């Protein structure tokens, strides 16, 4: 520790005393520094206050964080899972076709009706949560301000909605009553819209497409999967004339017909036709074979003794730990007699559609379970489908034999999601994808990146990218302007300090020389102008902050009509205050080095000679 009369303690006291003694000059220097610091603080406050106000207005309005699709296309469930995991995605939910997303709302008291947009929502929906609403549960809806006004409904009221469709040339309508959970602020949109859980919206879409919604008691059809095949085998006792063969690939859906050998038939069906039979393979390289194509070929072959057998390749099923590649075959008695094969214990291909019930199968005789036993089968596809089969008999093949209609359904399951409903014991088509989405970024800074990433995927979207970019450009422009003016101001303030302190050292040459004679070392004298520079900087900072506070209050008061509660056009972030102070003190210390170096060059002998 230094003694009370130590030079290291005396120099700061002497420097402060000198500034107090020449208080008029000190005041002028403080005012000069404040005149540089206060405008810089105001400019910095305007930059951050203006940008923060604009950003908060964008951030607080979820519309600016929304990214909307501008085209209708199918988005798979896997696509939604992948996109939801992207950094910056705050909310994502599927939507339905615009034509299906309209419901009729009954308006009291005269029971007139109006069309409202139906929008799906889910947990975390920022448009609802940030506009005074709550996410509705099943049986509930949230209304926009315009929808609530038209319907005369508020939170807790019931809303009667009607869903209409045309089926079989006649109109059908179902009615549902939904509880209004909340009404959104007017900022959420000016259109009459109803926000409902996704499950309800999907049921509305399904009903409008003619399907049933059993959970809501809405009647309709059940979406059944269509069978599709990779090709068909045509087996005849005698070859077809070339002109007939050519006609089988015209307006039938088939694109090619080739003659094949018996081994090819064995590979596809596990059996060979009788000797002398003509075997042809019908192919549709660009698309799957449908029942309508098979019917078209049957029409053109009227009068010919033939058997037309579709097939599906590369279908693999599992029973327990065993994996099989089953054969698809459906033969009636007449077809079996023509080929010399055994008819299958299920109908032929005439209907090409299965009724409800557990599908039958033939199991390899070497390992066949008991006839009548039910086995659980798992088939891979777009989504794994598990279904039972009933053992109806045995086969000499080393792989199971399934109805070809079932094989066609399993082939369709490789392209579209298919499920098996245990209650009705029927295969049903599951939703293969969604026709749109609602996506909100976490912050406005995430919008441009998500926008470009979706565009790179080929998804046409619209977002408030230009408005966000304008804020960024304004921020960069103000930053450049601030630093340009700051550099000029710092240069001016530094010049003031350097010249003032240097001049002060020249004026105090005799006094500093006396200090040297009294025993102060060069290093002690060095700190004299440094301390004065730091004191002047501290006083200038204090005066500059006072000036900034006064000017900021005047600016905010002048623009009070354009500001919302809690907003300000001129505000200095608290984290910037220590940075400003440290920068000013450091610059003052650097500015005083020239004067300090000048002070160390004073020779005490010169003082003696002058005396």
E strand or H helix that includes residue 481:
helix 465-507
Domain-embedded: residue 475 = yes
119 neighbors 202 (Cβ within 8 angstroms) = no
Mean pLDDT of 9-37: 70
Radius of gyration, alpha carbons of the chain: 43
**How would you classify residue 219: left for phi > 0, otherwise alpha for psi between -120 and 50, otherwise beta?**
beta
pLDDT tens digits, residue range 203-223? 998 888 888 888 888 888 878
- For 400-458, write each residue's pLDDT tens digit: 999 999 999 999 888 888 888 887 788 888 777 788 899 999 887 888 889 999 999 88
Residues 172, 250 share a domain = no
Residue whose pair of structure tokens reads 């002497």 in the numeric block: 14
Q: What is the DSSP letter of 7?
A: H
Residues 106 and 180 reside in one and the same domain: yes
- pLDDT score of 283: 93
Query: Would you call 575 helix, strand, or coil by DSSP?
Result: coil
| 226 part of a folded domain | no
**Element at 489 (helix H, strand E):** helix 465-507
Residues 199 and 283 in one domain: no
What pTM was estimated for this model as a whole? 0.60
Question: Helix, strand or coil for residue 463?
Answer: strand
Q: Tokens for 128?
A: 């609802």
Angle at 142 between CA 141 and CA 147, to 5 degrees: 110
Q: What is the 3-state secondary structure (H, E, C) of 118-159?
A: EEEECCCCHHHHCCCCCCCCCCEEEECHHHHHHHCCCCCCEE
CA 210, 216, 218, 221 torsion: positive or negative?
positive
What is the C-alpha to C-alpha distance for residues 337 and 353, in angstroms, rounded to an integer?
Answer: 23
pLDDT tens digits along 500-537: 655 555 555 555 555 555 556 555 566 666 776 677 77
First to last CA, the chain: 36
92 shares its domain with 167: yes
Q: Which of 428, 424, 587, 417 is nearest to 501 (CA)?
A: 587
Are 15 and 535 in contact by the 8 Å Cβ rule? The answer is yes
Higher-scoring residue by pLDDT: 487, 525: 487
Residue 232 has pLDDT above 80, yes or no: yes
Domain assignment present for residue 64? The answer is no
Residues 398 and 545 in one domain: no
Return the pLDDT at 65: 84
Question: For the segment 127-185, what is each residue's pLDDT rounded down to a tens digit?
Answer: 898 888 999 999 999 999 999 999 888 899 999 999 998 877 788 899 999 999 999 98
> Are residue 311 and residue 171 in the same domain, yes or no?
no
Residue 472: inside a domain: yes
Highest mean predicted confidence (pLDDT) among 139-153, 427-441, 538-552, 588-602: 139-153
Domain end position, chosen among 371, 404, 423: 423
Closest CA to 41 of 597, 482, 461, 559: 482
Tell me the average pLDDT across 333-340.
91
User: Comparing 264-278, 292-306, 353-367, 414-428, which segment has the lowest mean pLDDT?
Assistant: 353-367
Same domain (yes/no): 165, 241: no
Sign of CA dihedral 40, 45, 48, 53: negative
Same domain, 419 and 486: no
Residue 538 has pLDDT above 90, yes or no: no
The answer to the question of residue 379 being in a domain is: yes
Q: Place 1 in a pLDDT band, splitting at 50, 70 and 90.
A: very low
Q: How many CB atoms lie within 10 A of CB 167?
A: 15
pLDDT reported for residue 169: 76
> In the chain, how many domains are there?
3
Which pLDDT belongs to residue 351?
42
Across the chain, mean pLDDT equals 80
CB contact at 8 A, 145 and 183: yes
What pLDDT, on the 0 to 100 scale, is given for residue 146? 92
Listed residues 423, 455, 486: the one ending a domain: 423
d(CA 363, CA 371): 9
| pLDDT for position 201 | 92
pLDDT of res. 286: 78
In a domain, 579, yes or no: yes
Q: Tell me whether residue 2 is in a domain.
A: no
The burial class, CB within 10 Å (0-12 / 13-18 / 19+), for 330 is: buried
Give the pLDDT band (50/70/90) at residue 118. Answer: very high
- Calculate helix-pair angle for 465-507, 576-591, nearest 10 degrees: 30
Strand pairing partners for 441? 89
Q: Do 51 and 97 fall within a single domain?
A: no
Domain extent at residue 452: 69-221+433-463
Q: Which of 582, 372, 433 is nearest to 73 (CA)?
A: 433
Query: Which residue shows structure tokens 């005047």?
Result: 554
Contacts of 382 (CB under 8 A, 6+ apart): 413, 414, 415, 416, 417, 418, 432
* Least confident piece of the model among 2-16, 43-57, 149-163, 381-395: 2-16
Residue 287 falls within a domain, yes or no?
A: yes
| Bridge partners (DSSP) listed for residue 324 | 317
Q: Mean pLDDT throughout 560-581?
A: 65
Q: Is 72 helix (H, G, I), strand (E, B) or coil?
A: coil
* Residue 566 pLDDT: 57
- Model pLDDT, residue 239: 92
Assess whether 181 and 238 both reside in one domain. Answer: no
Q: Is the pLDDT of residue 546 over 90?
A: no
472 with 458, same domain? Answer: no
Give the whole-number percent of the chain exceeding pLDDT 90: 29
Residue 352 confidence (pLDDT): 44
* Residue that wins the pLDDT comparison between 397 and 494: 397
pLDDT for position 427: 87
Whether residue 482 has pLDDT greater than 80: no
* Cis peptide preceding 374, ω within 30 of 0: no
* Domain match, 448 and 510 both: no
């Amino acid at each position: 520790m230094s003694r009370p009369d130590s030079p290291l303690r005396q120099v700061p006291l002497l420097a402060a005393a000198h500034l107090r003694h020449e208080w008029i000059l000190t005041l002028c220097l403080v005012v000069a520094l404040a005149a540089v610091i206060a405008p810089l603080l105001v400019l910095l406050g305007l930059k951050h206050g203006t940008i923060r106000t604009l950003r908060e207005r964008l951030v607080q309005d979820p519309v600016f964080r929304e990214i909307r699709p501008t085209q209708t296309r199918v988005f798979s469930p896997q696509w939604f899972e992948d996109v939801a995991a992207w950094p910056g995605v705050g909310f994502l939910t599927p939507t339905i076709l615009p034509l299906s997303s309209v419901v009729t709302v009954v308006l009291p008291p005269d029971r007139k009706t109006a069309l409202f947009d139906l929008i799906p929502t889910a947990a975390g929906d920022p448009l609802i949560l940030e506009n005074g609403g709550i996410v509705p549960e099943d049986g509930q809806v949230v209304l926009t301000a315009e929808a609530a006004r038209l319907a005369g409904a508020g939170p807790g009221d019931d809303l009667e909605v009607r869903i209409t469709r045309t089926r079989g040339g006649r109109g059908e309508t179902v009615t549902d009553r939904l509880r209004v959970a909340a009404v959104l602020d007017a900022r959420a949109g000016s259109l009459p819209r109803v926000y409902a859980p996704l499950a309800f919206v999907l049921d509305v879409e399904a009903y409008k497409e003619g399907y049933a919604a059993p959970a809501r008691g809405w009647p309709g059809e059940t979406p059944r999967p269509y069978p599709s095949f990779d090709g068909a085998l045509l087996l005849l006792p005698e070859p077809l004339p070339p002109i007939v063969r050519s006609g089988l690939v015209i307006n039938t859906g088939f694109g090619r017909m080739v003659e094949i050998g018996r081994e090819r038939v064995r590979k596809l069906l596990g059996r060979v036709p009788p000797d002398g039979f003509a075997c042809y393979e019908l192919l549709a390289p660009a698309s799957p074979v449908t029942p309508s194509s098979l019917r078209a070929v049957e029409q053109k072959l009227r009068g010919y003794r033939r058997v037309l057998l579709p097939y599906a390749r590369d279908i693999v099923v599992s029973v327990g730990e065993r994996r099989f590649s089953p054969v698809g075959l459906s033969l009636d008695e007449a077809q079996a007699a023509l080929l010399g094969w055994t008819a299958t214990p299920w109908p032929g291909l005439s209907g090409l559609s299965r009724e409800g019930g557990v599908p039958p199968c033939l199991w390899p005789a070497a390992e066949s379970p008991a006839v009548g036993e039910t086995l659980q089968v798992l088939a891979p596809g777009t989504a794994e489908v598990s279904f039972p089969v009933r053992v109806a008999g045995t086969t000499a093949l080393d792989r199971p034999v399934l109805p070809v209609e079932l094989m066609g359904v399993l082939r369709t399951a490789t392209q579209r999601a298919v499920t098996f409903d245990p209650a009705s014991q029927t295969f049903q088509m599951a939703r293969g994808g969604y026709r749109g989405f609602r996506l909100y970024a976490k912050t406005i800074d995430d919008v441009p990146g998500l926008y470009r990433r979706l565009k790179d995927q080929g998804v046409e979207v619209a977002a408030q990218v230009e408005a966000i970019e304008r804020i960024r450009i304004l921020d960069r422009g103000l930053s450049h302007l601030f630093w340009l003016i700051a550099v000029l101001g710092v240069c001016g303030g530094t010049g003031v300090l350097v010249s003032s302190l240097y001049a002060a050292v020249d004026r105090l040459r005799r006094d500093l020389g006396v200090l040297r004679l009294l025993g102060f070392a060069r290093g002690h004298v060095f700190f004299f102008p440094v301390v004065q520079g730091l004191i002047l900087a501290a006083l200038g900072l204090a005066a500059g902050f006072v000036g900034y506070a006064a000017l900021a209050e005047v600016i905010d008061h002048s623009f009070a009509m354009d500001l919302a509660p809690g907003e300000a056009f001129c505000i200095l972030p608290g984290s910037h205050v220590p940075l400003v102070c440290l920068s000013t003190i450091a610059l003052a210390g650097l500015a005083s080095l020239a004067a300090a170096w000048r002070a160390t060059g004073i020779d005490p002998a010169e003082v003696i000679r002058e005396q």
